[in-house]
Amino acid sequence: MDTLPVSVSPAFYDMAVNKTEGPMRPKLMATMIVAAMLPALSHAGEPRVMSDEDAVLHTISTMTDAFARGDIEQVMATYVSPASVVAAPGQVVTGEQAMRAMFADFIAAGVNFTYGDHEVIVSGDTALHLMAWEAPSPDGTMRALSVAVLTRQPEGGWKMVIDHPFGDSVLD
């Protein structure tokens, strides 16, 4: 449970607790305590609203964390159905069964990604996510730019529609 920030001035504290300025009546003291807490209480119980950008990053983080754990179910939960994922430059995988098989192959191969900075651009119910990544490979370190398109879901979350982890391959 979150604690509520309450600011009580030293003078109030001295009056109420130390009674340096004379005894306070209990009702007056209770009224002053409640008044000091009102700003914090006015936001208590309200759900914290996540920005669209943070919600998109949450989806990406959920996917990458699940991938690292080998949790294909959670990985799949971050995509709409049907979605398209680029398994390798020029190789688009679409559909739940094909995506599951692709992710299972990557996980079985022990691919260990390191992720860089993120950039999120939101326009209405569509978002673009950009992120640099790298992973060791037999030929050295692979580096690429992941480009993902996400769509807002009816409950307000975001899911990927297109995931292109080799988005900068057109530059080669």
Q: Which tens digits make up the pLDDT trace of 96-127?
A: 999 999 999 999 998 889 999 999 999 999 99
pLDDT value at residue 137: 86
pLDDT value at residue 171: 87
Residue written as token pair 């983080």:
61
Q: E strands along 89-170, which residues? A: 91-94, 114-123, 126-137, 140-152, 158-164
| Mean pLDDT of the 59-76 span | 97
| Mean pLDDT of the 68-74 span | 96
Q: How many CB atoms lie within 10 A of CB 111?
A: 14
Mind listing the pLDDT tens digit for each residue in 23-62? 544 444 344 444 444 444 444 566 668 899 999 999 999 9
What single-letter amino acid sits at 139?
Answer: D
| Mean pLDDT of the 86-97 span | 95
CA 167 distance to own-chain centroid: 22
Which residues neighbour 65 within 8 Å (Cβ) at sequence distance 6 or greater?
A: 74
Mind listing the pLDDT tens digit for each residue in 150-170? 999 999 999 999 999 999 988
**Of residues 15 and 142, more confidently modeled:** 142
Q: How far apart, in whole angstroms, are the C-alpha atoms of residue 134 and residue 140? A: 10
pLDDT value at residue 33: 44
pLDDT value at residue 27: 46
